[in-house]
């Protein structure tokens, strides 16, 4: 009898974990579909800059143009 209870608890626990993971995956898909892929890429780039994984170009002109472009992109995401 105790073995049956343990086995049933394992089955219930496994099913719960499976359902929970499926629910989390669905939420991730829903969130990622709300943000356009280009915006996700821009965010990843900005995060990499902030974390120090990437560096801005050395050329001040290229820096300015890059940052102006990113600013325009962020403004377009906010206004849409």
Q: Per residue in 6-58, pLDDT tens?
A: 888 888 888 888 998 998 888 877 766 677 888 888 888 889 999 999 999 99
Q: Given this model, what pLDDT does residue 55 score?
A: 92
Judge if pTM exceeds 0.85. no
> Which of 39, 23, 24 lies closest to 79 in space, CA to CA?
39
- Per-residue model confidence (pLDDT) at position 33: 67
CB 51 within 8 A of CB 43: no
Q: Phi and psi at residue 58, in whole multiples of 5°?
A: -70, -35
Burial (Cβ within 10 Å: 0-12, 13-18, ≥19) of residue 39: middle
Q: Which pLDDT score, from 0 to 100, does residue 62 have?
A: 95
Could you tell me the residue ranges of all domains in the chain?
1-34, 35-80
pLDDT of amino acid 61: 96
């Amino acid at each position: 009898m105790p073995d049956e209870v343990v086995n049933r608890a394992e089955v219930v626990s496994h099913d719960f974990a499976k359902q929970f993971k499926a629910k989390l995956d669905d939420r991730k898909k829903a969130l990622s579909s709300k943000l356009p892929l280009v915006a996700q890429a821009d965010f990843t780039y900005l995060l990499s800059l902030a974390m120090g994984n990437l560096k801005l170009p050395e050329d001040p002109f290229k820096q300015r143009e890059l940052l102006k472009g990113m600013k325009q992109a962020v403004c377009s995401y906010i206004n849409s």
